[in-house]
Amino acid sequence: MHLLPPRWLVPVGLAMVLPMAFAQPSSVPVTTDSKSTAPSTVTLGYRSAFPDYRAYSEQPVVSWREANDSVGRLGGWREYAKEARLPQAADAAATTDPHAGRAKP
């Protein structure tokens, strides 16, 4: 007597069951309140990426020794890493919370 299912049955079974997991409803409940006649409005914002764009400009070519020396005078790669961690003033002022004014469902 054969106790185990044939080898092809497991992949076929998984292929049939796994899509059902993706067909489950989302975790956000949808309410249809017939008493409320006010349309729900969402305020969308748009901010173009082009205002901060800087066009390419040629930079003077320096020897690699001069470049290494100038980086060493500034504090080396660690100084560049510190600069990358600090928020820039223009970026900090332009950053807004996209979820401001919205309540949790």
pLDDT 10s digits, 41-62: 778 888 888 888 888 889 889 9
- Amino acid identity, residue 81? A
User: Domains in the chain: how many in total?
Assistant: 1
Q: Give the structural domain span for 68.
A: 60-94
Residue 69 lies in a domain: yes
pLDDT at 92 over 60: no
The upper half-sphere exposure of residue 59, i.e. CA atoms within 13 Å in the direction of its Cβ, equals: 5
Q: Is residue 38 part of a domain?
A: no
pTM, full prediction: 0.27
| pLDDT at res. 63 | 93
Give Cα separations from 8 to 2, 5, 14, 25, 88 (angstroms).
Answer: 15, 8, 10, 30, 59
